[in-house]
Amino acid sequence: MVHDPLPAEEIIGKKRHETLANLPHRQGQRTGDTAISIARPLPEYLVRRYAGWKATTYAENKGWYKRLAEEGQRPRAMVISCCDSRVHVTSIFGADQGEFFIHRNVANLVPPYAPDTDHHGTSAAVEYAVTTLKVSHLIVLGHSGCGGVQGCYDMCSGAAPELNEESSFVGRWMDILRPGYERLPSGETDMRLRALEKEGVLVSLENLMGFPFVAAAVEDGSLSLHGLWNDIGEGGLEAYDADAEGFVGI
Ligand SMILES: [Zn+2]
């Protein structure tokens, strides 16, 4: 799949700054009739991309899309992957719409089971996939060069004190991976970072088993858990092998 190069100036350059500068100054909650006045039309390059998709991929598979709309989704697998734009689970498995129930978050982490009254997006996605969609496979997909994992490493090693601030959403989210940091072998930083990326997958698998409905589905054989790690540059894929107690290439 080849796209036109992204016009970077529309994303991070002058145009964006001008657009933001022109927005009405808003603080706190929206009020009354101001509604969502900050929303702007889609950038032209995305409009063009959408029109291309509608005229080709959609047009050629219209029946499939209609069927998906009428019958609803019945994905066999849930994938929890990183927000990183380079991680592309549907590409590496050649998957179409309707095949994967995908949840993405920073560093593909599953938090511990915590049925309090806070908002838990990842836990909600897992609950829906397992109890309503009844997926057969739940895959946690880690990857090389993960910025979230790097942040956790820096935070835990004292190199990023700002991530220890209570107000850091990234820092508090990456606290989930602290047990993985504690288990790291000593050695070179690059090796430890790669090991921490894989620890993130394992910590998530451990946390998943703390959800009663996940544990019950695993125990009755209707759900299997899988831990994967994707080497982006090499196109590699490794899976955690419980017998080998490590990740092995696929
Ligand atoms: Zn990542």
CB 122 within 8 A of CB 103: yes
The Cα 15–Cα 193 span in angstroms is 37
pLDDT above 90: percentage of residues in the chain: 84
- Which tokens in the block code for residue 20? 């933001």
Rounded distance from Cα 225 to ligand 1 centre (Å): 20
CB 166 within 8 A of CB 184: no
What distance, in Å, lies between the first and last C-alpha atoms of the chain?
24
Rounded distance from Cα 17 to ligand 1 centre (Å): 27
Rounded distance from Cα 8 to ligand 1 centre (Å): 22
Rounded distance from Cα 210 to ligand 1 centre (Å): 23
Rounded distance from Cα 56 to ligand 1 centre (Å): 31
Rounded distance from Cα 81 to ligand 1 centre (Å): 8
Rounded distance from Cα 180 to ligand 1 centre (Å): 15
Q: Between residues 14 and 213, which one has the greater pLDDT?
A: 213
The Cα 250–Cα 241 span in angstroms is 11
pLDDT in tens, 139-180: 999 999 999 999 999 999 999 999 999 999 999 999 999 999
Torsion of CA 183, 162, 204, 243, to 10 degrees: -30
Which of 139, 140, 141, 138 is CA-nearest to residue 217? Answer: 138
pLDDT in tens, 199-214: 999 999 999 999 999 9
Q: Are strands 224-231 and 137-143 parallel, antiparallel or unpaired?
A: parallel
Distant-in-sequence, close-in-space partners of 21: CB < 8 Å, separation ≥ 6: none
Stated pTM of the model: 0.86
Rounded distance from Cα 23 to ligand 1 centre (Å): 32
Residue at token pair 């089971």? 113
Complete domains list, the chain, with CATH: 7-24+33-60 (no CATH), 73-249 (3.40.1050.10)
Rounded distance from Cα 83 to ligand 1 centre (Å): 6
